Amino acid sequence: MSLFVLLLGMAVFASAATVRAADSPPESPMTLLIGLDGLRWDIIDRHPAPTLRQLAEQGVRAQGLIPVLPSKTFPNFYAIATGLYPENNGVMDNTTYAPELDKTFRMSDQNDVGWFQGEPIWVTAEQQGVRAATMFWVGSAAEISDTRPSYWRPFDGSVPNDARVKQVFDWLDLPEAERPGFISLYFEAIDSASHTAGVDSVEERQAVAEIDATIARLLEGLAARDLLSRINLVIVGDHGMTDVSEERIIYLDDYVDFSALHSPQLSGERQGNAVFAAFHGEPDAVETVYQALSLAHPRMRVYRKSQFPDWFRLSHPARGPDLVILPDNGWLLSKRNVAFRGPRATHGFSPQARDMHASLIVNGPAFQQGVTVESVHMVDIYGILTRTLGIKPAANDGNPSRIAPLFRLD
């Protein structure tokens, strides 16, 4: 089947659904959530991506997908899963200090339920009778609220892209009673290439082409299984990307000794070159560091807890930091004893920086066709998923009015 014919068929998702025989039993909706790590808001405009472009042109594309702070992978993919900001789901960064547990969670702790709070979409689905399957997703390896997805795979970056797609097909080939209604799928190739070689690099271009071709093969498999008329595709990035360099580093220890405070990003002997720094400590020590740094460098902003802007959404009752330092987009925070060894590009900066915005593309029978909508927030995606699945959402921070324009009116 040619890609043109395949995508032409996808453009008439809804029409196909209406011409089923009158005596056919109704088919339950299915939702496939595809996470493309590092899919910046403009990346399919900068690089050839025919499959993703046509899905966007024939479905709905948002002008951007606005991340939570910090604009990193774990906080944002878990915000997608729960519809909650870090202050409400406990995932404060890729490395999270949990003083109530006297523990620091790292990305290798993905199966530790103590890290993850809130109710992720697979728990919502399973508890309402919809089977869920996760082919890699932040939090899905932990047993949250005594519930796991019916089918799940812990993250393993060595699994090839086509093997990940095959796992999805294996789940879809199960008998109807065992088949999941919600599936998530994750790819990190674009993020890895952008970090290594930089924004607009040849390597980034190749990674976009690789993932685009993988999505095309996924669609061909869905078409071969006659599932295009019932699956809603929700394709998300988790953050954007911007270039960094050794010439744009702020060395905090030039201005103050901050060793009396704990920072998950900077306190380790070899930790540095951070895009965001949160500090925990006693009030007097916090104030000393604040006074020394608040006007120290024109390319960073320093905030006490009492000064956090509303959009920070970092005021977790136990894990919320006492002090936050935000460098300007493209600048890093470090220490003199930590060498800069890359990356060429990174993320984690303020969600107000356009470079940090990700992509959102949706396509399927629930959605409008050929529409571009205003930017959506990461915490809104959970509401999209529950609506397409026809299940009741748990309490969340999303705004239904921001996602309403994505959906068909009938």
Omega before 70 cis (within 30°)? yes
The mean of the pLDDT values for the chain is 94
% pLDDT > 90, the chain:
90
Domain layout of the chain by residue ranges: 3-102+110-243+352-406, 249-342
One DSSP character per residue, 277-343 reads EEEB--HHHHHHHHHHHTTT-TTEEEEEGGG--GGG----TTT--SEEEEEPTT-EEE-TTS-----
pLDDT at 99: 94
Domains 3-102+110-243+352-406 and 249-342 share a fold: no
Q: For 3-102+110-243+352-406, which CATH class?
A: alpha beta
Give domain 249-342's CATH number out of 3.10.110.10, 3.30.1360.180, 1.10.760.10, 3.50.50.60. 3.30.1360.180
Say which residue the tokens 């320093």 belong to. 302
Q: What is the pLDDT of residues 355-397, one digit of tens each?
A: 999 999 999 999 999 999 999 999 999 999 999 999 999 999 9
Q: Is the pLDDT of residue 144 over 80?
A: yes
